[in-house]
Amino acid sequence: MSFVKWLCAAPLLLMPLTAAAQTGTDSGAVLLPGCEWKDQTVFIRGKPNQQLSFRYQACTGKELPKVIYALNEREELIQSWGGDHGGPVARFWPVGTERPSVLIHKIAAPSIDNKEIGRCVVHLDFASGTYNYEPNVAYMEDLLATGEVFSACGDYGTTNDAIQYFVVIDKALLAYVWLGQDTPFFDPASFRYVNTEKPGVVE
């Protein structure tokens, strides 16, 4: 199952945005009823000096699961609950000296279908500062004309049924974030990276 399909297949895990939800004060992230923000730090490549921090929702209500987060060997942030339930919600790569758009193409292009070669492009939304690997205009028009749900441009591509995007964190890390359809338990705008020994460097 692809990451997008995993997120879309878990409607009971997340609550949709509602007027009853409270708004976080820092980034506009929605705080679900019965939850509070908690901070967590994980180590990029297992190195204590390479610290990726973020905040997530710790929930006490019976209606919502208690989630935990861990970074695996692929630098994927795994959200899990109830034992074996869960999956990746973000993945991280060092930016290095490359333009983010070049790095995104290198990451995303190998997973596209043969029929999509030459039809997928990197798009930068300058207003939000996020990137997408998505169909070019002609391909997008073809997909939208079907009036159906679609998932295009590979494992790191685009769907019209969920939210996902690339974003650069503190000029050091490139993140691909899977938000799915509903309110996430973590705040995607809260990611911060610090190298306590070599500022701005990912080793």
Q: What is the pLDDT of residues 45-58, one digit of tens each?
A: 999 999 999 999 99
Beta bridge partners of 174: 93, 168
Instruction: Answer whether residue 153 is part of any domain.
Output: yes
- Provide φ and ψ at 158, rounded to 5°: -130, 145
What is the model's pTM? 0.83
| Residue with token string 């009853």 | 20
Instruction: Answer whether residue 203 is part of any domain.
Output: no
> How many domains in the chain?
1
| Residue with token string 């758009």 | 101
Cβ count near 43 (within 10 Å): 12
Structure tokens at 110: 């190998």
Q: What single-letter amino acid sits at 186? A: F
Instruction: Answer whether residue 201 is part of any domain.
Output: no
Instruction: Answer whether residue 202 is part of any domain.
Output: no
Distance of CA 144 to the CA centre of its chain: 24
pLDDT value at residue 183: 76
What domain range is 120 assigned to? 3-195
Instruction: Answer whether residue 200 is part of any domain.
Output: no
Instruction: Answer whether residue 173 is part of any domain.
Output: yes
Q: Which helix (H) or strand (E) holds 167?
A: strand 163-169
Instruction: Mark residue 96 as left, alpha or beta (left: phi above 0; alpha: psi -120 to 50; beta: remaining).
Output: left
Instruction: Answer whether residue 30 is part of any domain.
Output: yes
Structure tokens at 147: 């009036």
pLDDT value at residue 23: 35
Strands in 2-49 per DSSP E? 22-23, 30-31, 35-43
Q: What is the pLDDT of residues 30-41, one digit of tens each?
A: 888 889 999 999
Instruction: Answer whether residue 186 is part of any domain.
Output: yes
Where does residue 75 rank: exposed (0-12), middle (13-18), buried (19+ CB within 10 A)? buried
Which parts of the chain have pLDDT scores under 70?
Answer: 1-27, 61, 82-84
Instruction: Mark residue 68 as left, alpha or beta (left: phi above 0; alpha: psi -120 to 50; beta: remaining).
Output: beta
Instruction: Mark residue 200 as left, alpha or beta (left: phi above 0; alpha: psi -120 to 50; beta: remaining).
Output: left
